[in-house]
Amino acid sequence: MAMRNGCEGCSDIIKCGSSKDVLAAKPAQNVITAYDRVQRRGMSACLFGSGGTCCRNCNMGPCQIIDGIEDMLGICGVSADTVAARNFARIVAAGSASHTDHAREMVKGFIETAKGHGPHQIKDVEKLKSLAAVFDVATEDREINEIALEVGEKALAEFGKQDDEPLSMTKRATAKRQALWKKLNIFPRGVDREVVEMMHRTHMGVDQDYENIMLQASRCALSDGWGSSMLSTELTDIMFGTPVPRRSIVDLGVLKPDQVNIAVHGHEPLLAESLCIAAQDPEMVELAKKQGAKGINLAGVCCTGNEILMRRGIPVAAGFVQQEIAIATGALEAMVVDVQCTMESLAQVANGFHTDIITTNYRAKMPGGVHIQFDEHEALNSAKQILTHAIKNFKKRGECFIPEEKKLDVVVGFSHETINYMLGGRFRASYRPLNDNIINGRIRGIGVMVGCDNFRLADDTHELIARHLIKNNVLVLATGCAATSLGRAGLVNPEAARFCGDSLAEICETVGMPPVLHMGSCVDNSRILVAATQIVKEGGLGEDITDLPAIGTAPLWMSEKAVAIGQYFVASGAQVVFQDLPVSGAKKFNKYLLEGLMGPLGAHWNVESDPQKLAELMVAKIDAKREALGINKKSERVLFDMAMRRDLTGGVPGAGCHGPA
Ligand code: NFS
């Protein structure tokens, strides 16, 4: 199929077959997408913006700073390093704030659920009790909802803690990491406080020492990772169920020609879960049938998609870069959005179709969108109102094109508990077999692929990196739109074991797991902090996350949230490599992020723009950690005998992927 005229130049960055097919089809001929804007704008980034040296923090400027040129300091004398550090720290603060505001909504929804209001229940009682222990909430002889209410109230208090008491969940970190945070005075305190302090310290005339600014950036990011994001993941799991492995499908082919297609886009799963419940209501299904549809098909976009994919197996239609293209199929009756990562162009694209963009949150409205406020106190009624609006659009559907053959099977649902159970076996959940396989080299290390996709590099970048990793026996953990992209590439699937090196292939085949484990949405990166800490505590791989043969990447990062995640990984001791960072215009600060942070934190940022080199760097960094641990022997191909299979599956070969009994 030929690419339509408007996007001929995009063929370098659109590799994905479903995107190409939709853009080439008739319904999309008048659609303008971000790909077109990339071509038209030429993507010539502003030198000062991309280098991080444009200062807009007061009204003497804006000042464009050129490093090393005395006349090009800011009016106040500010250096390129201070400006780049302040800008970088503000990115971390904005990213943390986004996770925090999301988490607060989840905590409030959790409290409502604990009070017995709304359609949700406490689904994972075991996880509730383990979180209760973290918050010193008594569980004996108490009703589940009573425990949940106290946990919820203590969780809510984490946001506004005003004293220097650390966030409760930081006690899960390794002893060594906690001691380091204490020594550096960066133990995260109240989550809101850390963001506010970051914004204050980067105001004109406050903190002018980039090393000191980065201490607070670390503290702020830690309050996200070990505070907001972790709270959100934990409470969401308790309410909606901790994910277990399940099959589903991804890509634009999940849309259905004969059903009402409703895309659920955004981040906070309270809305998405309510829509899932409402979509099963016979009254709603009947309404859809009255309009001539065979049923209601919900399809996820971005991280809301990942949330309902992980817990319910609802298909994911698109990641970030495909959100406009999902509308350009002409097959969506509505795209329901809440907060974050929804492009303003959605309503512009929808304008040419019968599709409505339904905004649902007072914090996020959009010109051209239809606003139906989601009321968490009346969750089911709100959800039905939204669905009713969408269903009534079905009759208005015009010409559409769904690339029906473009849908890939995925096996998802790898929470930290599942990995623990799956590799530890049915009778002794533990990370021991995983640690042993890392120590004996069958698993060379762990590559964490997270974050967004964007329009700078080709949309097969994640695939290219992941293929290199798994071929080199590196197990990949993935979240966010990176995980969606890898799903589209067919790698989130046990059959992808054939692309792995011999020893990883054998483990995947024995356990029945994909070489890329989908761990959820971006807030679920907190699962990776917990898993990494558990691996350390299991023994044999050092005393802290910094010792592990593991490295994280968000190669196509787009959102400020990705930088906050990167910084909390680094401040937790994990190595991180991004495709670029907006600090290159400040020599000393750039060097500090790429090397200097190693001193205080034992980890630092890396930057590599070429995807192949980035993948090679990840393997090299993993090998360096193996060397330091004294385990960098070449792994031999070992054929698994029955005893080894039993070790991995708790006595049931091939049973690993069926989830806890
Ligand atoms: Ni993460 Fe998820 Fe996607 Fe990036 Fe946006 S949806 S929270 S920020 S673009 S991965």
Please say if the pLDDT value at position 426 is more than 90.
no
Please say if the pLDDT value at position 652 is more than 50.
no
The reported pLDDT for the residue numbered 639 is 58
Ligand 1 mean position to 276 CA, how many Å? 21
Q: Which atom of ligand 1 is nearest to the CA of 98?
A: 7
d(CA 114, CA 112): 5
- Determine if ligand 1 sits within 6 Å of the CB of residue 437: no
Please say if the pLDDT value at position 48 is more than 50.
yes
- Determine if ligand 1 sits within 6 Å of the CB of residue 341: yes
Confidence of residue 12 (pLDDT cuts 50, 70, 90): confident
Please say if the pLDDT value at position 307 is more than 70.
yes
Calculate mean pLDDT across residues 315-338: 98
Q: What is the CATH number of domain 411-629?
A: 3.40.50.2030
For 511, counting Cβ atoms within 10 Å of its Cβ (0-12 exposed, 13-18 middle, 19+ buried), the class is buried
| pLDDT tens, position by position, 175-202 | 999 999 999 999 999 999 999 999 999 9
d(CA 383, CA 377): 11
| pLDDT tens, position by position, 536-565 | 999 999 999 999 999 999 999 999 999 999
Angle formed at CA 519 by CA 529 and CA 511, multiple of 5 degrees: 105
Asked whether the bond before 403 is cis by omega within 30 degrees of 0, the reply is: no
Nearest to 233 by CA among 569, 478, 530: 530
Percent of the chain residues topping a pLDDT of 90 = 86
For 177-212, what is the HEC assignment?
HHHHHHHHCCCCCCHHHHHHHHHHHCCCCCCCCHHH
Ligand 1 mean position to 244 CA, how many Å? 22
The reported pLDDT for the residue numbered 44 is 67
| pLDDT tens, position by position, 92-143 | 999 999 999 999 999 999 999 999 999 999 999 999 999 999 999 999 999 9
Please say if the pLDDT value at position 637 is more than 70.
no
Calculate mean pLDDT across residues 578-601: 97
Confidence of residue 638 (pLDDT cuts 50, 70, 90): low
Please say if the pLDDT value at position 6 is more than 90.
no
Q: What is the CATH number of domain 54-240?
A: 1.20.1270.30
Calculate mean pLDDT across residues 519-524: 96
pTM to 2 decimal places: 0.94
- Determine if ligand 1 sits within 6 Å of the CB of residue 339: no
Percent of the chain residues topping a pLDDT of 70 = 93
16 annotated as a binding-site residue: no
The reported pLDDT for the residue numbered 199 is 98
Let me know if the fold of 251-396 is the same as that of 411-629. yes
Residue pair 21/403 in contact by the 8 Å Cβ criterion = yes
Ligand 1 mean position to 523 CA, how many Å? 9
Which residue's alpha carbon is at the smallest distance from atom 7 of ligand 1? 522
Ligand 1 mean position to 92 CA, how many Å? 15
Confidence of residue 365 (pLDDT cuts 50, 70, 90): very high
The reported pLDDT for the residue numbered 642 is 64
If you classify domain 251-396 with CATH, what class do you get? alpha beta
Confidence of residue 163 (pLDDT cuts 50, 70, 90): confident
Ligand 1 mean position to 463 CA, how many Å? 17
d(CA 15, CA 55): 37
The CA radius of gyration of the chain, in Å to the nearest whole number, is 24
Ligand 1 mean position to 181 CA, how many Å? 28
Residue pair 610/580 in contact by the 8 Å Cβ criterion = no
- Determine if ligand 1 sits within 6 Å of the CB of residue 559: yes
Confidence of residue 7 (pLDDT cuts 50, 70, 90): low
Which residue's alpha carbon is at the smallest distance from atom 5 of ligand 1? 341
Domain chopping of the chain, boundaries: 54-240, 251-396, 411-629
58 annotated as a binding-site residue: yes
Extract long-range pairs of 179-184: CB within 8 Å, 24+ residues apart: 180/600, 180/601, 180/602, 181/222, 181/571, 184/215, 184/218, 184/600, 184/601
- Determine if ligand 1 sits within 6 Å of the CB of residue 95: no
The residue behind tokens 């109102």 is 385
The whole-chain average pLDDT of the chain stands at 93
Cβ atoms within 10 Å, residue 419: 24
Please say if the pLDDT value at position 380 is more than 70.
yes
Confidence of residue 424 (pLDDT cuts 50, 70, 90): low
